[in-house]
Structure 1
Amino acid sequence: MVRTLGLIQLTMIGIGAIIGAGIFSLAAAVARDVAGPAVLISFLVAGAASLCAAFAYAEFAGMVPKAGSSYTYCAAVLGEVVGWIVGWDLLLEYTAIVAVVAIGMSGYLGFLLDAVGIHLPTWALGAPGTGSGHRIDLLAVAICLGVAWLLTRGTRTSARVETVLTIVKIAIVLVVIVVGFTKVDSGNLHPFAPFGYGGAFTGAATVFFAVFGYDALSTAAEESVEARSKLPKAMMLSLAISMVLYVLVCVVLTGMQHYSELNPNSGISSAFQSVGLSGLANVIAVGAVIGIVTVTFSFMMGASRLWYALSRDGLMPAWFGAIHPKRKVPHRATWLIGIVSAVLAGLLPINAVAELTNIGVLLAFVVVSAAVLILRYRKPQLTRSFRCPGMPVVPVLGIVFSVWLMSFLQWETWVRLGSWLVVGLVLYAGYGYRRTREVMPGGSVDLDALEGMSDTDGAGGGDDTAPATAR
C-alpha cells in the first residue's frame, strides 16, 4: 500500500468515523425510548469510557505502524490466539457498523425524497419487522455498495472525497447548533431523566457506537505519512472535536422538541421541521446523508485493512488480502465487506445491529487496555511516541468502563457474539494455526521487529495474487 495520509486527512477520517448515525439518528432514538434529555449523560459516560481506551490505542499506534489495529496490538502482546479472536470479532463488528450507519442514512434519504415528491414503494422502505409491508431497506443496500465502489478507486482519491465530505458535515452540524439554540424551549428539558439515570446508563451502552472510530483509523497505519507521530494526534483530535459537537447537539435536539415526539429515523431534521424550519430541515437531511457516508467510508476502510492484515499473516486465505496492482488497495476484501454489509443493512433493524456492534468493540477495548498495561511493564524500553497517561489507572478504568457498559446489553447480543467467536475458533484450529506457521514461523507478531521498523517500511508493496509476507 502507499503512504499518502497526513494529519489533517487522518483527523478527518477519525471525525468521519465518529460523527454520523450517532448524532443524526441514534441520539433521537435513545432519547425517545430510554433516556429522555439525559441522553446528554449517555454520551458523556460513553465518551469517558471511550477516552480511556483511546489513550491505549494511541500508545500502540505510536509504536506499531502496521495495519490491523487491535488485532496486531493484541497478537503482539497477548499472543496469536487472542489476536485472532479480537481480529475475527472486529471483522464482524466493523462490517455491522457499516450496515448500521447505512440504515441511519436511508432514513434521511427517505426524508429528502419525500420532500421533493419522490416516494419509494413500501417494500423498499425498511427491513422486515420495521413497518407494515417492509421487505428490504433498498437505500441502505445502495449506500453500502456505493461506498465499496468509492474505496476501490484508491486511497488518495477516496481520502480526498472523505475530507471534503467531513468538512461539509462539520459545517452543517455547527449550523444545527447555532440555529438550534435559538429555538430551544427549556420546558422540553424537564423532566431531565424521565426513565431514571439507569435509563441514561443503558443509553450509554447503545450510543457507545457513536463515540469510537479512532480504532478504525488505526487500521490505516500503512497508508499514513509518519504514522507513529501523526496517528496518536489524529485519534485525540478527532475524539475531542466529536465529543464537543455531540454534547451541544444533544442539548439542541431535546430542547427543540419533547423527547417523546422525536423521530428516531430523522431526528434532527424532524425537530427543525417541528419548529417551522422546514427549509433548513432539508439542508440538515443533506448534511446527515453526507455525514453518514463518511462513517460508512471509514469503517469499511477499517474492515478491509483488518482483513488484509489477517490474510497477510496467514490467518485467512491470501486471496482475500490481495492488493490491486494499480490502485494499491485490498479490493477483494472491500467488495466482500460491501456485499455483506448491504445484506445486513437491507434485512435487519438498526437496534439489533447496533448492539452487536457495541459488544464486539467493547470486547476489543477490554483486551487492548489490558495489553497496553501489560506491555508497559513487560517491555518498558520500547520507543513510544505517545504514552498513555495515568498508568495504571487509566487502562484499568478503560477495562472497568467497557465491562460495565457490556453488562447493559441484551442477552441475545451475548449469544450472537459467542456464536461468532466459536465459529472463529473452529476456523483458527482448522486453517489459521497451520497456515500462519508457514507465513510467520514461530507464530504471532514479533513486536521487537515491528518496533524497529521505520514509518516507510513496507510502503508501496503488494501484488494482485497475495499480500506481502509478514516480517
Structure 2
Amino acid sequence: MFKRIFQRESVANYLKADARLSRTLTAWDLVALGIGAVIGTGIFILPGHEAAQHAGPAVAVAFLLAALLSGVVGMAYAEFSSAMPIAGSAYSFGTVIYGEIVGWLIGWALILEYFLAVSAEATGFAAYFNNNLLAPVGIKLPAALQAGPLEGGVVNLTAVLIIVVIALIIVKGADLSKKVENTAVLVKIAIIIIFIGIGIFYIKSSNYVPFYPKQFHGAPFGLGGISTAAATVFFAFIGFDALAANSAETIDPKRNVVRGILGTVLIAVVLYVAFSLVLVGMVHYTKLNVDDPAAYALHLVHLDGWNKLITIGALFGIFTAMVTMFFGGSRLVYALGRDGLLSKKMGQVHAQSKVPRNAVLVALLVQAFFAGVVPLAQLASLINAGTLLAFACISFGIIPLRHRRDIPNDGFKMPWYPVLPILAGLCSIYFIVMLPTTTKVAVGIWLAIGLVVYFSYGLWHSKLQHRNATD
C-alpha cells in the first residue's frame, strides 16, 4: 500500500492529456492574471485591519516580507512550470516529484484555498457594491438578500450573482477571460496609483510614530505582530499558483510563465508597500480597522469626492482577483478529474470552447454556496494555510526536481541552489506556525477529510494506479 500511494506520474502523460487545452495566453496575459489575483482584497481591505490589529504602521514591512517570500517561491513555481508546462500546478508538480498521495493532499488543500478565496472576494465585492454604489443612489436590497443565515439574512444575493457572471466569462474560454482581465487590471492599477499620488500630500509624519508599537511585539524576537500580519495576506499570493495552473494554456510556457510570475512579483511589491505606507501615513493606524480603509482615509482628510473612484478601483480589484482564482480553481478540479482522483467528468474538456465546463460548474456551485451563506470573516480565516503548505512543498521540491534526469529543463532555474529553495521552504513553514490556531485546526480537519476521500475513492479510481497495475 505504501508503495502504491507514493507512485509518481510522468510528465509525458500529463502533456498528452493536456493537449486538448488551447494555448492562447501570452506573458502579458499572465502578468494581468497575476496582478488580478494578487492586487485584490489583499490591498484594498487587509492593510487597514492588519495595521490596527497586528503591526501598526509596520504593516508595510509585513507586506514587504510576504511579497518577497512569495517572489522567491514564485521562482520555484517558475522553474517547475518551465520543466513541466502542465495543468494542475502544485498538485501536478507534487504528484510527479513526491508521489500521488502528496500531490493529492496539496491539491485538496488548494481546492479549499481557491474556492474560499473566490467566495471571500465575492462577499467583499458585495459589501463595496451594496454600500458604496447602490445605497448612495437610493437602491437598498432587502436585508434578507444582503447576508446569509449566519448574519440574520437568507442569502448574499450580490455575492452569488457576481460569481455567476465570472463563471459565464470563464466558460467562454481563456481568450475572453484574458480580454476582460487585461482591461480591468489596467483600470485597477491606475486607480491605486491615483490614491498613492493624492494621499502622499496628506501624510502626517506623526502617524508613523511609533512605527512598530510595543503591544504588537511578541515571539519570536519581537516580530510576532509583523509575522502574523504577513501570514494573513499570503492568500493573495496564491496568484502564483494560479499562474502556474495555466501553464498548459500558455504560449511558450518555458519563457512566458517565468515572465508572468516575476513581473507580478515586481509590481506587487511596489504597489503593496507604497499603498500601505501612504495609508498609515494619512490616518493613525488605530482608526483603520475597517473594510474600506482607502475610502475611509480619504473621507477623514475631507476628500469625499474621491471615494467613488476608490470604490470603483476596489470593485475592479476584487473582480479581477476572482477571475484569476476561479480560473485556477476550476483548472485544479479539472486536473484531479483528469487523473481519476475525482469523477472523470471533471476531467472532460468541451470540444468547441476547449474549456473544462464540468469543472467550472462545480467551482461555480461550491463558491456561490459559500459566498451566499457564510460571512467574510469566517471565510478569510481559513484561506492561508493551504497556500503556505503548497509554497513549502514546491520550494523543497526544487531539490528532487534537479536530480530527475527524465525531466530536462533548458529554461528558467531558481538561483542560489540549494540555499534559496531550502530557505523559502523553511520560511513558508514558519508562517504556517504563525497562523491563528483555529485556522491550523480547521485546515487539519480538511486534510483529514481529504485522506478519507483519497483512500475511499481516489486510490481506487486513479488512472496512475490502474496504469501501473496493468504494466
With the length of structure 1 as denominator, give the TM-score of the two structures: 0.89
Aligned residue for 1:324, secondary structure, equals: coil
- Tell me which of 168, 176, 183 is aligned to 1:149: 168
> How far apart are residue 128 of structure 1 and its match?
5.5
Question: Which of the numbers 210, 215, 218 marks the counterpart of 2:236?
Answer: 210
| Aligned position for 1:301 | 327
Percent of aligned positions that are identical: 39
Deviates more, 1:357-366 or 1:43-52: 43-52
Give the one of 250, 264, 272 matched to 2:298.
272
Q: 1:217 to 1:417 in 2, by over 3 A?
A: same
Q: How does 1:109-188 map to 2 (within 5 A)?
A: 109=129, 110-127=131-148, 133=152, 136-188=155-207
Q: Take 1:200 and 1:118, find their aligned partners in 2: how far apart are those partners?
A: 40
Q: Does 1:386 align with 2:412?
A: yes
Paired with 1:297 and 1:143, the residues of 2 have a C-alpha distance of 10
Partner of 1:328: 354
**Matched residues in 2 for 1:426 and 1:212: separation?**
25
Shift of 1:39: 0.9
| Distance in 1 of aligned mates of 2:206 and 2:364 | 44
Instruction: Give the aligned partner of residue 395 of structure 1.
Output: 421
TM-superposed CA distance for 1:411, in Å, is 2.1
Structure 1: gaps (5+ residues): 444-471
Q: Which residue of 2 aligns with 1:85?
A: 105
Q: CA deviation at 1:289?
A: 0.4
Take 1:151 and 1:170, find their aligned partners in 2: how far apart are those partners?
A: 22
Shift of 1:129: 5.8
1:28-39 aligned at under 5 Å gives the runs 28-39=48-59
Counterpart CA distance in 1 for 2:199 and 2:140 is 29
1:205 touches 1:408 (CA, 8 Å); kept in 2? yes
Moved more, 54-63 or 194-203: 194-203
Equivalent residues in 2 for 1:184-333, closer than 5 Å? 184-194=203-213, 195-196=216-217, 197-262=223-288, 264-333=290-359
- In the superposition, relative to structure 1, how do residues 120 and 275 fare at CA in structure 2: closer, same or farther (>3 Å)? farther
Determine if contact 1:212/1:239 at 8 Å carries over to the other structure: no
Q: Compute the displacement of 1:123 (Å).
A: 3.7
Cα deviation, residue 97, structure 1: 1.0
C-alpha separation in 2, matches of 1:80 and 1:432: 10
CA distance in 2: counterparts of 1:316 and 1:241, whole angstroms = 36
Paired AA for residue 257 in structure 1 = V
Cα gap change, 1:192/1:128 in structure 2, threshold over 3 Å: closer, same or farther? farther
Amino acid at match of 1:116: V
Q: State how 1:374-453 maps to structure 2 within 5 Å.
A: 374-379=400-405, 382-437=408-463, 441-442=467-468
Question: In 2, distance between residues paired with 1:22 and 1:88?
Answer: 23
Deviation at 1:263, TM superposition (A): 5.0
Preserved CA contact (<8 Å) 2:90 2:103: yes
Deviation at 1:42, TM superposition (A): 1.3
- Alpha-carbon deviations, 1:372-428, whole Å to 9, x = none? 122223449722411001111111111111111111222222222122222222222
Residues 144 and 339 of structure 1 are in contact (CA less than 8 Å); yes or no, is this contact kept in structure 2?
no
User: What's the RMSD between the two structures over aligned residues?
Assistant: 1.9
Q: Report the secondary structure of 1:316's partner residue.
A: coil
- Distance in 1 (alpha carbons) for counterparts of 2:30 and 2:466: 30
Offset at 1:202? 1.2
Which of 22, 28, 31 is the equivalent residue of 1:8?
Answer: 28
Task: Say which of 57, 76, 79 aligns to 2:77.
Answer: 57
Q: Provide closer, same or farther for how the CA distance between residues 404 and 276 of structure 1 changes in structure 2, counting only shifts above 3 A.
A: same
How far the C-alpha of 1:172 sits from its partner, in A, is 0.8
Q: 1:86 to 1:254 in 2, by over 3 A?
A: same
Q: Which amino acid in structure 2 is aligned with residue 41 of structure 1?
A: V
Residue 72 of structure 2 aligns to which amino acid in structure 1?
C
Contact 2:199 2:282 in 1 (8 A): yes
Q: Note closer, same or farther for the CA distance 1:188–1:116 as it changes in structure 2 (3 Å cut).
A: farther
**Residue in structure 2 matching 1:347, options 373, 389, 398:** 373
How many angstroms apart in 1 are the aligned matches of 2:211 and 2:323?
Answer: 35
Q: Give the Cα–Cα distance (whole angstroms) in 2 for the partners of residues 227 and 2 of structure 1.
A: 13
Shift of 1:90: 0.8
The aligned residue for residue 69 of structure 1 is 89
Inter-partner Cα distance in structure 2 for 1:107 and 1:48 = 30
Q: Which amino acid aligns with 2:334?
A: Y
Counterpart in the other structure of 1:41: 61
Alpha-carbon shift at residue 15 of structure 1 (Å): 0.8
Please say which of residues 43-52 and 165-174 is displaced more in the overlay: 43-52
Distance, in Å, in 1 between the alignment partners of 2:146 and 2:208 is 32
Partner of 2:37 in structure 1? Answer: 17
Which deviates the most, 219-228 or 105-114?
105-114
CA distance in 1, matches of 2:425, 2:176: 37
8 Å contact kept, 1:211–1:239: no
**1:305-326 CA-partner distances (Å, limit 9, x unpaired):** 1111111111111112222232
Deviations 1:141-173 (A, max 9, x none): 222222112111221111111111111111111
